[in-house]
Amino acid sequence: MEHCISQQVQKAQQHFQRSFERPTFSFKLRGRAAGKAYLHLNQLRLNPVLFVQNEAEFYSDVIPHEIAHLLVFSLYGRVRPHGPEWQHMMQEVLGVPAHTRHQFDVTDVMGKTFAYRCGCDTHQLTIRRHNKIVRQQTRYRCTRCGDELQHVS
């Protein structure tokens, strides 16, 4: 892991002819996200379950993706997360395709879901979305038919 992070930072240092602080990392990320960059901490957080199941893809895609966020923040400050600066960093500097979503199987990291119906289908909502509906903080509509989702008891 340390070697992969160092390699990515070295690519940026050579390209920009300046030094960058090497980020720290931890495996303290849960849920469906594979990784997350904490810009002000210069830290990567990685999902340990998805890492074990997709180790090669983490080294080739996820780690460069998150490091690109940190490098862009270091160079430009706050900019659009997957904007032109990040895309340039991914493709031209790190030499990695600028994908914004992973295609990993998230079955093992999915929490409990709740069934909701609309006019055309049944949808599985996360516990967070379900609780927002229960607390009357929001309503969700189907993106296809436009009907409001109703809980299936």
Q: Is 99 found in the same domain as 120?
A: no
Residues 10, 62, single domain; the answer is yes
Task: Identify the three-state secondary structure at position 36.
Answer: strand
Contact 43, 35 (CB under 8 A): no
The string of pLDDT tens digits covering residues 91-142 is 999 999 999 888 887 777 777 889 999 999 999 998 889 999 999 999 999 9
The token pair at 107 is 């079955």
Domain encompassing residue 146: 111-151
Integer Cα distance of 78 and 145 in angstroms: 37
- Strand boundaries in the chain, DSSP class E: 24-26, 35-38, 43-46, 113-117, 122-126, 150-151
User: Is residue 21 annotated as a catalytic residue, yes or no?
Assistant: no
Say yes or no: 145 and 75 in one domain.
Answer: no
| Active-site position among 55, 57, 66, 148 | 66
**Do 76 and 127 lie in a common domain?**
no
Average pLDDT, the chain: 94
Tell me the whole-structure pTM to 2 decimals: 0.75
